[in-house]
Each structure stands twice: as C-alpha cells, then as structure tokens.
Structure 1
Amino acid sequence: MRACEAAVRAALLGGALVVLVAGCGVVPGAPAPVPTSVVPPLASPSMAAARSGDGFDDEQRIALRLRAVSCDGLATGSGFAVDAHTLVTARHVVDDATSVQLSTYDGHDALATSVRVAAAADLAVVRTRDALPAASALAADDPEVGDDVTVVGYPLGRALDVTTGHVTAVLDDPLDENTGVVMIADATVEPGSSGSPVLDDEGHVAGVVYAKGRYGSTYFVPVSTLRSMLDDDDAFVPAPGCS
C-alpha cells in the first residue's frame, strides 16, 4: 500500500491529469468533497492569446497565464500580480521549470527573472523583468464559510475565465501540500487553473487555487497563509528546477 501511495503522489505532483476513483486513492471518500489531486498545470503547445484593451475589469487585469518550461516539456498554469514586478502562483506549476514565460490579460508577454517556491505551502513567487499591468491588494482576513468568492484564471490554458461560488468548508489539507488549514469553495476550476486568485466580494485576494476536488469543488490556500509567507524572508527558496 505504501508503494502504491508513493506512485500515486509522484504522478499527481508531476502534473498528470489523473482521476482516482478506485484502487489506491490519494484520500478516502468523505462527506465533504475531497480533491483527487492538485490541479495540474496543463500541457500546452502554444500560448496564443487574444489581444484586447477593452472589456476587462480590475479583477481580470491582475490575472496572468504562465508557461513553465521544464526538462519534461511545457505546461501552463495561472497566477496573479501582487506588485508591478511580482506575481504569486502555485508551487507545483513552476517548481520544475527551467524558465517561465507570462501572458497578460491583453495578450502581452512578460519574462520571469526568478522563481522562488515555498516548502510549507503550495505557493510560489515569480519576479518579472517587465512591469505587470495591474496588481491586487490582499484581503485583510480569510473568508468565512458562506462568503461569496470569485476565481479568475486560465482553465485548460485557454482564455481568461471567471467563475463564482461560495466558501463551503475549512479543513486540514488532505493532500498534505500545506501545513496550515485550506479552504473549499464551489467555484469550478480545471487543469491550468492552479495559481488563480480567489477574490472576495471587494475584489481583494482571499486565497490561491491549488487543487480540484470532486463535484466541482475548489481547494485554495487562504490569504492568511499567503500573507505570513510573503512577510517571511525565509519562506521562499529558489526553485530547484529539473535535474
């Protein structure tokens, strides 16, 4: 059983889209929806994006599409800007990357200059050479069960998409990717959504998407964890890349 669990975890963290419904699962069935895996970065042959300067609001302008090149190929994920040259994403999107390229909401490209990853949470920080078009403030507090949330990202590596839902639960991470509690919402995500911002009803970042559960649920790292790690100079270390 232990060997089986190790094999499953290696596949999940490697970015494979695996649905575990029988045999050795990552977590057992439970009354609350349980994530089958982290939301994998999506293998993608291109990053073509529609260029448009119209019709986007502030919540959409902060979202970024990531292309992470590693020894194993190419994958896409999502992220969001926290200042003019810094974005946050999920660790598993970029930890094996040898280079990371970014695409903004209006189709412009930006080049990453450094990638740092956290050990205690599925979070990463990417610095850019080019200025990013917009950044969002972090929420002062974690959302509560029942609060409205909005997820903005690039599911399936395609066009910018916005989904809405509510926070449904707070619990310990069943995937053991985060040392603190994580939160669940009923907003829909897909492969390529990892690293998307979860926004509160004021448009502030309330969390970061990292896993997709059964029945359309979304697992995210709460903003309290993100805040504490951004304030800790030792929380992030250079990404190992691929060997």
Structure 2
Amino acid sequence: MAVLAYALGSIGAGGREAAPSPSPTPSPSATLSVSDVFERVGPSVVVIQAGKSLGTGVIAADDGTVLTAYHVIKGAKDVTLRFSDGTKSKAAVTSANPKRDVATLKPQKLPEVVVPATLGGAVSVGAPVIAIGNPLGLTYSVSTGVVSGLNRSADRDSDDGDLNGLIQFDAAANPGSSGGPLLDSRGLVIGIVVSIADPGGDEAFAGIAFAVPIGAALGGDDGEGPPGEGLQI
C-alpha cells in the first residue's frame, strides 16, 4: 500500500533538476469561494493519460512544465496531456523521483494561453482545502474538505521506501485524482494529491486522502509522523 512522494529529483543519475519553484506568496487576502478558486486554478489543471493510467497534473511554471505524481506516468512509453481548453499534446518526463513519487512533464505543444498555478502557502490542521482532479475519469471534478493531519507517513510495497511528511485531508479523492493540486482557500497549491486510505481493499474513498506538501515536492525536507497505509490512485 502506498502513499506517494515528494521532492522533484531526477531520472537516473543524469536527470535534470525540476524547473518549478515556489511562487511568491501573494499578500493576505479574503478567502475565495470554491467557485472562485476553481475559476482561477481550473485552467492550470491537466488530464494525463499514460498508457492505461489516468491521472491529473498541474501547470507549475511559465514554460508549461506540468507537476504530477510519479506513479501516474511510471513505466509509460506514451504520455498524453489534455489542457483545459482542449489542447492535446504528447509529453516527455523531464524529472522524476520514484522515492518521493513526484515527476515533471514537458509538453510538446502548449495551449494558446498558459496559466501556471501559484505554488506555496502555509498548511495548518483544520484549514479548508479544495482538490481538483479527474477521479474515475470524471474530468475537472472539485471536492472540498479540511486538513485532517500533518506529517503522516505510509508504507509502500516497493523498493522505494516509506513515505513521510504527508498532508492528510478529507476532500474526496479516487483513482484518477493522483497528481492533482490540493489548494488552500486562496487558490494556492499546497500539495500534490497522491493516495487514499483503503481499509476495505476496494479502492473506495474512506474519507482519508494524502498529499505531498508542495515544499517537499519541490525539493524540501521530509517530515515524520504517525504511520499509516495508503493506496496509490
């Protein structure tokens, strides 16, 4: 069972560093409605088809670099992106860190208007969050919840080791949601959705989901916390 990853690393020893970096945090402003957040960030979200794997990504830089979960594109020979305006493009994996389950993609073609999301933002337990993704193929779905816990960890049935420092939240997530942005009430990307708890073994959402904090996804330190289990979605 696995939760996912964080920090952008490289593919093999010769991989390049990931391009995205935390955006300057805007000055404090009033909380946005969920509709306003979706209107602001929706154009930054992409649908990822990697072989038989469906996932989500978020535009993380002005050059169109897409940030996603590594397991979404793991082993895929053909990765296709669909942007919010309908533009489709093949994409190459430009950096990846399997141990933290984060990857970046470089599209061959960009939409006419590239809208990168704003990265960064503090995270606190009880704070409202919004997730945008493509659960079960239902593209651009929005769900809301709160931060349920911080610094969670999870075991993985792989050679990549356990995962630490995850954000626990209760906004709905399902297969296809992985790689999508977890947002705060101002529309800032605070994490990358990676997995759900699956106590029944049926891949159904049980009210517990996990995200890699955006700082860790961009190369920050891991955290430590109570152990848990998660299903990669």
TM-score normalized by the length of structure 1: 0.66
Q: 1:78 aligns with which of 56, 80, 101?
A: 56
Segments of structure 1 that go 5 or more residues without pairing to the other structure are 1-25, 27-36, 40-55, 230-243
- Separation (CA, whole Å) in 2 of partners of 1:178 and 1:117: 17
Alignment deviations for residues 59-117 of structure 1 (CA, whole Å, 9 cap, x no partner) = 11111100102xxxx22111100123200111101121112100112322122133421
1:75-224 paired onto structure 2 within 5 Å = 75-83=53-61, 84-132=63-111, 133-141=114-122, 143-176=123-156, 179-214=163-198, 215-224=206-215
- Separation (CA, whole Å) in 2 of partners of 1:87 and 1:63: 9
Alignment deviations for residues 189-228 of structure 1 (CA, whole Å, 9 cap, x no partner) = 1111000100111111100011012522211101120232
- The answer to whether the Cα contact below 8 Å between 1:78 and 1:89 also exists between their aligned partners in 2 is yes
Measured after TM superposition, the shift of residue 171 of structure 1 is 3.2
User: How many matched pairs?
Assistant: 173
Measured after TM superposition, the shift of residue 175 of structure 1 is 2.5
Q: Corresponding residue for 2:35?
A: none
- Separation (CA, whole Å) in 2 of partners of 1:125 and 1:57: 24
Q: 2:42 aligns with which of 57, 60, 79?
A: 60
- Separation (CA, whole Å) in 2 of partners of 1:174 and 1:75: 22
* Displacement over 2 Å in runs of 4+: 113-116, 175-180
Q: Corresponding residue for 1:15?
A: none
Q: Corresponding residue for 1:33?
A: none
Which protein has greater RCO, CA pairs closer than 8 Å, 6+ apart? 2
SS of equivalent to 2:218: helix
- The answer to whether the Cα contact below 8 Å between 1:210 and 1:220 also exists between their aligned partners in 2 is yes
Query: Could you say what the CA RMSD is over the residues aligned between the two structures, in angstroms?
Result: 2.0
Partner amino acid, structure 2, of 1:131: L
Which structure's residues are more often helix, by fraction? 1
- Separation (CA, whole Å) in 2 of partners of 1:81 and 1:63: 6
TM-score normalized by the length of structure 2: 0.68
- Separation (CA, whole Å) in 1 of partners of 2:175 and 2:45: 16
Cα distance, 1:189–1:179 mapped onto 2, change above 3 Å? closer
SS of equivalent to 1:93: helix
SS of equivalent to 1:221: strand
Cα distance, 1:178–1:66 mapped onto 2, change above 3 Å? farther
Segments of structure 2 that go 5 or more residues without pairing to the other structure are 5-37, 199-205, 221-233
- Separation (CA, whole Å) in 1 of partners of 2:191 and 2:57: 11
Identity %: 27
